[in-house]
Amino acid sequence: MTDRIPPQDRTTTGRASAASRAAEDSTGAARPGGVSRGSERPGGVSRRALLGTAGATGLVLGAAGGGVGYALAPEGSKAPTEALTRLGSRRAMFHVKHQPGITTPLQAKGHLLAFDLLAGKGRREAANLLRRWSETAERLMAGEAVAADGHDTGIALDAGPASLTVTFGFGHSFFSRTGLEKQRPEALAPLPQFSSDHLDAKRGEGDLWVQIGADDALVAFHALRALQKDARGTARVRWQMNGFNRSPGATASPRTARNLMGQLDGTGNPRESDKDFAQRVFVGPGDGPRWMANGSYVVMRRIRMLLDDWEGLGLAEQEKVIGRRKSTGAPLTGGGERTEPELDATDKDGDLVIPLNAHARITRPDQNGGAAMLRRPFSYHDGIDADGVPDAGLLFLCWQADPLRGFVPVQRKLDRGDALSEYIRHEASGLYAVPGGAAKGEYVGQGLLEG
């Protein structure tokens, strides 16, 4: 294990300025594995120099920006000025009030994984791991190389940050493994069993949970390998799932994501402009242990879609199951995607236009005592199973201030009569406490592990 830098020294020690990194990388000094710094990019411009100088000039914009980032070649170099694409230049910040990856726009590629602490590893080792993970995540989200041991895998050479986010959480078992049972939130109680569940315990729960998202597959995989490497000797992977969404720019204008059934997914999400958005999604001061302030709870469900059965339905039948138009997401009673449905509307035969068991009707907050959650899923496809049918569906993720008031009441109602249940199967499940973002010089979960 490498020596750790004291928190107060981390912002200056081990992280040179962008200008000094650019100068260092332009020297051509040998790197581990026989690759010279000067050979990483044509003309002697390394990925770190590229991104370091771009960040220094302020032209790589944050996640809310979206401008093109430009990199300046080191002084005296004959290399032409290079520009990252809009997709590559987007950067999400690590040190924020709420961890990145919750309200961040959906990314094109995602990895979800859970770790279990190794036998004999406890609170101290967990704290060191979260410190390493936080340092690694901060560097990678800035588009920098991993430098914990002086060597980077090179998987993401030449790429920008590509909206990379890394999010960390704690499972129910983490608190007993670390002797912190008294700090376990009441909201982290195990989820109840549902009649439609076909859960594989080996692909759920876990001591530690990690979500990785990026708009480039290699950038996401680079982060995955770096975090797995950081965990060696402390924790082992319990399960891993890989997902995807539509790539940014694939549509003429930003749209609600579509799932593998072809349906818009997330139309009913609370929006950040809502007055009660923070109250619904994030834990407020005094609403649980102090270390959870500004955090959230995420429910993960691996939901297999029985696509052969679903695709055997006609369009009108599919729309009645959901209660919305497949093309626009508008309710069957008319309007646009954001139009409020007329739940009492009937057709010429006196039947409800939106059936009583339609998915969109059952999941509405006003049909569930105001229960709301922020859906932020990824689709997945793991090939064809032994029966010759697609192993594909949704890595369902929903964020809320309290799962007992968010996910649980809605899922109980869906369990009792959702028309969509005939075409899906819940195969894995997990619930995790995701603390607030780390302040500069701190690591995620520090308030729990050092409080």
Please give the positions annotated as active site: 265
Q: Which residues contact 87 (CB under 8 A, 6 or more apart)?
A: 162, 163, 215, 216, 247, 248, 249
Cα–Cα distance for residue pair 306/310, rounded to 1 Å: 6
Q: Is 85 helix (H, G, I), strand (E, B) or coil?
A: coil
Cα four-point dihedral sign 243, 141, 251, 377: positive
Cα–Cα distance for residue pair 161/144, rounded to 1 Å: 8
Cα–Cα distance for residue pair 142/135, rounded to 1 Å: 11
Cα–Cα distance for residue pair 155/157, rounded to 1 Å: 6
Six-digit token pair at 79?
């290399």
Q: What is the number of alpha carbons within 13 Å of residue 151 lying toward its C-beta?
A: 9
**Where on the phi/psi map is residue 58: left (φ > 0), alpha (ψ -120 to 50), or beta?**
left
Q: Is 242 helix (H, G, I), strand (E, B) or coil?
A: strand
DSSP string of 250-316, one letter each residue? SSSS----B-TTS-B--TT---TTSTTHHHHHSPPTTSS-GGGTT-EEEEEEEEEE-HHHHHTS-HH
Q: Which residues contact 308 (CB under 8 A, 6 or more apart)?
A: 389, 390
Six-digit token pair at 41?
């990019």
Cα–Cα separations (whole angstroms), residue 411 to 73, 305, 363, 407: 54, 17, 8, 6
